Amino acid sequence: MYAKTFGETTCGINGEEIIVEVDISNGLPAFELVGLPDTSVRESRERVRAALKNSGYKFPMTRITVNLAPADFKKDGSGLDLPIAIGILCGSGQINAEAICDKVFVGELSLDGGIREVSGILPMIIKAKEAGRKEIFIPPGNAAEGELVDGIEVFAPESLTQLALHLEKEDMLAALSKRKMSIESNCVYNVDFSDVQGQLVAKRALEIAAAGGHNVRMVGAPGAGKTMLARRLPTILPPMTEEEALEVTKIYSIAGLLNRKQGLVLERPFRSPHHTISHSALIGGGSIPKPGEVTLSHNGVLFLDELPEFSRMALEVLRQPLEDGFVTISRVQATLTFPATFILVSAENPCPCGFYGETDGVHECSCRIGDIDRYHKKISGPLLDRIDIQIHVPRLEYNEMRADNRTECSADIRKRVIAARQLQLDRLQGTGLHCNAEMSRREIKKKCHMTAETEQLLQRAFVSLGLSARSHDRIIKVAQTIADLEHSDVINTFHLAEAIELRTISKG
């Protein structure tokens, strides 16, 4: 007896349809799984056996062969439990074969026949819809994700018994109602830029970074407020578009970090890994590659505090995503590409003790010159060249900290950022780009217009500062963002001068 049904697994940040073929034949009792299953899939044999028995169904005491096609693609995850169980029920004649035609099943089975939630449901539903399937059955714990996709009926049975009764049309389930994806920004942050006293240069730099999607490096003594500033950057970023929100939700669904009740991710990600993180955890990895921190930061912010304390290998793997906006991971089993378009914000001390260059007469640097050189050599020149804005964050004076002056709130800054981003979207229409930081040399030549005086200033800066071609392009992109914030059609000399200063101020 033969039966065929459909399941889903994930590949990168996308779903992958799996054809589950079940053959039940005479012979000694055996239950074989073929088709490159990993450990979690092989263990499904015992879960399926117990779930069928405890749900009141017969487990065939004959030879059972389950093939997971395509056979050259390694399958992982426990979501294939449900299609395997349904295939066995159909192959053994306990469910009508026509009842499972053109349907997709995803879910992990508990030993009593309950259906447990799994990671990556959203991309699986999207893949099933693209494959032309009419219905998909998912765990009730993933129902919030099932409500996001139109064009396919989604059901969330609580148990194998409930699902079987539905397929036999004895006790029909209602399909999940569709929830309109609302991208209205209802995010409530518990931090705000109005909390930050002083640090006008740093605030200005972060506003420019948010407006153009630029990377930022902050150097300053301990307690100057670098971390405080970085954690407030998401509060001034523009709200995500529907496309961005769906892409972030897919990533977090696969990573198992999705809030099951919320469904759609509305807040831009803010990731702050500890400096002991490995390069594999940062960039992504595993025998079947999974998203790392750079992908979890996609469309958001990656904050690296104490930058020189990260391993050199971990820092060097950031080069590709900072340049290309994606990362490609190759393993024996698979080669996958993950999106990684984020704003990098780094913070560091000027030396190991943190007080090099302080002039207050109280804190004196105790580091030797060699120690300071080794401290900064962990950060390579090519990596620094990819950071558009580099600023010094000074220690605050007592009067600045105790001042009652009301500083500008995040909402006001965000309005300017959104207006600047809209100008960029209009300018870059048809290119597939979203902000100035994503422009290549071609777009810079076509879209960025400078006055003759500005061109002369750039030439002098290029020669006197010994800028690389990459630095040249990035300064222009930052200058264009400053011009957008000023609603200027051309880059003037003061726009370019500020961009140059923001790239070199940390060296002063």
- Arithmetic mean of pLDDT, 201-228: 94
Q: What is the per-residue pLDDT for 175?
A: 94
> What residue type is assigned to position 154 of the chain?
V
pLDDT band of 476, cuts 50, 70, 90: very high
Q: Is 325 helix (H, G, I), strand (E, B) or coil?
A: coil
Residue 499 included in any domain: no
Q: What is the per-residue pLDDT for 185?
A: 56
Clarify whether residues 258 and 149 are in a common domain: no
Q: What is the per-residue pLDDT for 399?
A: 75
What is the residue-wise DSSP string for 41-79? HHTHHHHHHHHHHHTT-PPP-SEEEEEEESTTS-B-SST
Residue 98 and residue 104: Cα distance in Å, rounded? 13
Clarify whether residues 272 and 395 are in a common domain: yes
Our measurement of the distance from residue 370's CA atom to the centroid of its chain's CA atoms, rounded to an integer in Å, reads: 38
Clarify whether residues 225 and 355 are in a common domain: yes
- Count Cα neighbours of 355 within 13 Å in the Cβ-side half-sphere: 10
Clarify whether residues 155 and 291 are in a common domain: no
CA distances from 355 to 225, 351, 366 (A): 14, 7, 8
Residue 123, burial from CB neighbour count under 10 angstroms (0-12, 13-18, 19+): buried
Q: Locate all alpha helices (DSSP H) within 186-241, ordered by sequence.
A: 200-212, 226-231
Do the Cβ atoms of 474 and 444 come closer than 8 Å? Answer: no
pLDDT single digits (tens) 280-304: 999 998 777 889 999 999 999 999 9
Q: What is the per-residue pLDDT for 340?
A: 95
H helix count then E strand count, the chain: 21, 18
What is the overall mean pLDDT for the chain?
91
**The last residue of a domain, from among 381, 404, 427:** 404
pLDDT band of 184, cuts 50, 70, 90: low
Q: What is the per-residue pLDDT for 331?
A: 79
Q: Would you say residue 105 has pLDDT above 60?
A: yes
- Arithmetic mean of pLDDT, 129-137: 95
Residue 494 included in any domain: no
Residues comprising the chain, all counted: 508
pLDDT band of 394, cuts 50, 70, 90: confident
Clarify whether residues 160 and 272 are in a common domain: no
Do the Cβ atoms of 99 and 167 come closer than 8 Å? Answer: yes
**The last residue of a domain, from among 404, 423, 447:** 404
pLDDT single digits (tens) 496-505: 999 999 987 5
Residue 436 included in any domain: no
The angle that helices 200-212 and 469-485 make with each other, rounded to 10 degrees, is 100
Clarify whether residues 68 and 12 are in a common domain: yes
**The last residue of a domain, from among 353, 374, 404:** 404
CATH number at residue 205: 3.40.50.300
Percent above pLDDT 70 for the chain: 96
How many degrees, rounded to 5, is the angle at CA 460 between CA 459 and CA 465? 105
Residue 269 included in any domain: yes
Q: What is the per-residue pLDDT for 259?
A: 82
- Arithmetic mean of pLDDT, 185-196: 81
Residue 155, burial from CB neighbour count under 10 angstroms (0-12, 13-18, 19+): buried
Q: What is the per-residue pLDDT for 186?
A: 61
Q: What is the per-residue pLDDT for 365?
A: 86
Clarify whether residues 64 and 146 are in a common domain: yes
Residue 110 included in any domain: yes
pLDDT single digits (tens) 35-91: 999 888 999 999 999 999 999 999 999 999 999 999 888 898 899 999 999 999 999
Q: Would you say residue 361 has pLDDT above 70?
A: no
Residue 485 and residue 85: Cα distance in Å, rounded? 59
Q: Would you say residue 405 has pLDDT above 80?
A: no
Clarify whether residues 162 and 303 are in a common domain: no
Q: What is the per-residue pLDDT for 439?
A: 95
pLDDT band of 165, cuts 50, 70, 90: very high
Residues forming beta bridges with residue 338, ordered by sequence position: 327
Residue 217, token pair as written in the block: 């490096």
Percent above pLDDT 90 for the chain: 72
- Arithmetic mean of pLDDT, 115-143: 95
Q: Would you say residue 359 has pLDDT above 70?
A: no
Residue 206 included in any domain: yes
> What residue type is assigned to position 324 of the chain?
D
CATH number at residue 121: 3.30.230.10
Residue 207 and residue 297: Cα distance in Å, rounded? 19
Q: What is the per-residue pLDDT for 378?
A: 86
Clarify whether residues 251 and 389 are in a common domain: yes
Higher pLDDT, 124 or 260: 124
Residue 452 included in any domain: no
Clarify whether residues 135 and 270 are in a common domain: no
Domain total of the chain: 2
> What residue type is assigned to position 129 of the chain?
K
Clarify whether residues 259 and 127 are in a common domain: no
H/E element, 109: strand 108-109
Q: Would you say residue 402 has pLDDT above 90?
A: no
Clarify whether residues 160 and 199 are in a common domain: no
The boundaries of the domain holding residue 381 are 193-404
What's 487-499 look like in SS3?
A: CCCCECHHHHHHH
Residue 220 included in any domain: yes
Residue 365, token pair as written in the block: 């640097």
Q: What is the per-residue pLDDT for 505?
A: 56
Q: Would you say residue 398 has pLDDT above 60?
A: yes
pLDDT single digits (tens) 440-458: 999 999 999 999 999 999 9
Residue 241 and residue 246: Cα distance in Å, rounded? 9
Q: What is the per-residue pLDDT for 507?
A: 38
Higher pLDDT, 22 or 359: 22
Q: What is the per-residue pLDDT for 183?
A: 63
Q: What is the per-residue pLDDT for 182?
A: 64
